[in-house]
Amino acid sequence: MKTLNELPAPLPAPGEPQRRRLYSSSFGLACMDAAALIVSWFLVVSLFGRVWGGEFFLLLPMLIIGQLVLGYLLSLYRNRYQLGSDHELRNQGMVAAILFTGTSLAGVVAEYREDIPWLLLALLFAQAIMVFGRQLIRVLRQLRLIPVSGEPVVIVGAGDLGASLVTQMMADPLSPYRPVAIVDDDPRKLRQLIHGVPVRGSTSSIAEVVAASDAAGVIVGISEAPAQVFASLVQRLDSEQIWVRAVPSPLDMLSSDVGISDIRDLDVTDLIGRPAAEPESEQISRLVEGRTVLVTGAGGSIGSELCRIISRHNPSRLIMLDRDESELHALCMSLEGRALMDSPDLVLADIRDFQALDRAFAELKPDIVVHAAALKHLPMLESYPAEGWKTNVHGSLNVLRAAQKHGVGRFVNISTDKAANPSSELGRSKFVAERFTAHFAAATGLPYVSVRFGNVLGSRGSVLISFTDQIRRGGPLTVTHPDVTRFFMTIPEACLLVLRAAALGSSGQTQVLDMGEPVRIVDLAKRLMAVTGRTCPIIYTGLRVGEKLNEELFSPEELDRTSTNGVSWTVDVPPLDPDSVPEPAASLEDIRSCYLSTVDAAEAPSAAAAVGPVDGPGVDAPASTVTDSGELPVIDVDHGTQTLGLSAQGRA
């Protein structure tokens, strides 16, 4: 341990070293410019054999003094501008113009008239020496600053942001990155030099540019770069050898200048081919502001994000209902920074228990209910169909009955794309919930709506979580089929669009969110490995019972659909009388019969056409495992659903 005597000497007063460096630099530049004028005088004498009179020796000191005084006044010797910059060159030109003018006016004196042209020539030479000297010093300084140990990188984007990144990298000898090439899709920028770094091609030739320049990675220097750019780069590059990184999001760039330290690794949400979520809209504020909002399943991934968004739009009260006390605890911590669990706005209840819901609704009197509670794992519900029946069907019915009984003004049922042309227990149970919602909308005349959307990245049990865990373990990554596709959204985007669609939807309608283009699961797996920089084997396990090769957003008969809000499509789902369905404890045979009458019968126009081999999205026979030849053998489509007696009919 150091004693007091061993401690380093105090630091100099703030600004003292800088003042010395500035003085030294200013004095050096002034001496350089004075020397340039003297050298130019001797240059003119030696080149043209001019013999100078005594009058000339009076003019030259005046010219030197004028250069130094004007240069000081215009900040050439006060280090206000970067050495050799365009700003400094402009002011140096102004000094030269004033000196030329003053020297020319001295020609009105007869004894000076003969010397003035030669003096102007010397002044011209001097200005050339000054410019050359400054640029030489600048180049030498830049050569000293060029990073030599940083990783060679290719910058995508030759715009302002890309040029700024190149400048910062080239000005820091300790920079972790050394730009060796730039690519840009603007053909006019091809072969340009940006701070000494050449533009060598477009993004379509990124692999060739990276190989030719021996780059270790690629940095995307494009503000608000669309996800397609990242996906395309990852697809074109060897993820085992070349990494891809990006600059911060636009919101982050507003808070601070983008620097080298802000460059980040890609997130998988950069790669799903969807634009960033839109900002929260006025429709959401008009929907929840000043109202009591109750969210079921509030502790889940969707429910908790819905609560966070709703809480930002000034509801008079936010009621969070869930059967999982641990999830409610975590939600309180994220919203309030504390979790005493004593707030009346926390309701521990199961939607299967109508009496508990009835008491909560009677006491809290919600104006809006957002129903997000559900069982959602498709394979589990295939194994335990009765549980899906109790929660997704009768649990939803309990929430709807409580909402009707206690005068809830707006009801939002969170559904899934698996309810479109359903082939699974999950899809059938959620489609019945959509039909229940349409029934209560007709009975109350109030805006009771369903919102249907696809998979959510990052939710519990999502493929992203599964892949991340498998990569952490070293693989392999399990994918059901090499051609399987799914629709994806991020959790914030899904919740924002759910609330916007709910605010704009009319009574009884099902709003189907615009999910963009479907993403191949195997591509998502490869992109995630590229993001993490690790490579794992991929094995194909075959489609599970009830799964489709390609998900759908609409059932075949849902042809009459419109989109007037730019957020979602509107489809009409036939109402279903709750009295026509069996009780929660119904047998599997009764559940089978109900699904056949409520789901298949509702889609009767397409059922007949679906019998037999049919090509198209959503009509795919599940497969089991990959054979040695790489082919996926077809398995019995009735296997695993025989307990319900469901035939394939193009959807099992």
DSSP-H helix ranges across 198-346: 206-213, 227-236, 250-255, 282-288, 301-311, 325-336
Indicate whether 133 pLDDT > 60.
Answer: yes
Closest to 598 (Cα-Cα) out of 572, 622, 574:
574
Check residue 7 and give its pLDDT. 38
Residue 2 designated active-site: no
> In the chain, pLDDT over 90 holds for what percent of residues?
27
Radius of gyration in angstroms for the set of CA atoms belonging to the chain, rounded to a whole number: 36
Left if phi > 0, otherwise alpha if psi is -120 to 50, otherwise beta: which for 339? beta
Tens-place pLDDT, residues 203-239: 889 999 999 999 988 888 887 677 677 777 877 887 6
Question: Using one digit for the tens of pLDDT, what is the confidence trace for 11-22?
Answer: 444 444 444 444
Question: Cα(341)–Cα(502) distance, rounded to whole angstroms?
Answer: 30
For residue 316, give every residue at least 6 positions away whose Cβ sits within 8 Å of its Cβ, in sequence order, or none: 290, 291, 292
pLDDT at 248 over 80: no
User: Under a CB-based contact definition with an 8 Å cutoff, are residues 530 and 244 in contact?
Assistant: yes
Residues 88, 138: Cα–Cα separation, whole Å:
12
pLDDT, position 521: 85
Provide the mean pLDDT of the chain: 77
Rounded distance between C-alpha atoms, residue 503 and residue 285, angstroms: 9
CA–CA gap between residue 607 and residue 594 (Å, rounded): 16
pLDDT of the residue at 453:
85
Q: What is the CB neighbour count within 10 angstroms for residue 484?
A: 20
Closest CA to 401 of 317, 375, 507, 393: 393
Can you tell me the distance from the alpha carbon of 409 to that of 559, in angstroms, rounded to the nearest whole number? 29
The region, left, alpha or beta by phi > 0 then psi within -120 to 50, assigned to residue 509 is beta
Helix (H, G, I), strand (E, B) or coil at 329: helix
Report whether 472 contacts 255 (CB < 8 A): no
| pLDDT, tens digit (0-9, with 9 covering 90-100), for 311-323 | 999 999 999 999 9
Q: Which has more pLDDT, 453 or 138?
A: 453
Q: Which residue in this structure is represented by tokens 């926390």?
A: 346
Q: Which residues pair with 321 in a beta bridge?
A: 296, 347
In sequence order, the 6+-apart residues with CB closer than 8 A to the CB of 497 are 277, 278, 453, 489, 513, 514, 567, 568
pLDDT score for 268: 57
Which of 207-221, 441-455, 615-629 is least confident? 615-629
Query: Residue 233 phi/psi, 5° resolution?
Result: -65, -45
At 534-591, the pLDDT tens digits run 778 899 988 888 777 877 777 666 666 666 556 677 888 899 999 999 999 999 999 9
CB distance 258 to 248 below 8 Å: yes
Q: Which of 418, 430, 526, 548 is catalytic?
A: 418
Q: Is 450 helix (H, G, I), strand (E, B) or coil?
A: strand
Asked whether the predicted pLDDT for residue 391 surpasses 90, the reply is: yes
Give the whole-angstrom CA distance, residue 568 versus residue 100: 71
Mean pLDDT of 115-122: 78
DSSP assignment of 108-130 equals GSHHHHTTHHHHHHHHHHHHHHH
Quick: pLDDT tens for 349-387: 999 999 999 999 999 999 999 999 999 888 899 999 999
Q: What is the pLDDT of residue 564?
A: 59
Instruction: Spell 48-87 as b/e; 16+ CB within 10 A means b.
Output: eeeeeeeebeebbeebbebbbebbeebebbebebeebeee
Which residues of 432-484 form beta strands (DSSP E)?
A: 448-452, 455-457, 477-479
Report the pLDDT value the prediction gives residue 641, as an integer from 0 to 100: 33
**What are the backbone dihedrals phi and psi of residue 546, each rounded to the nearest 5 degrees, phi first?**
95, -15
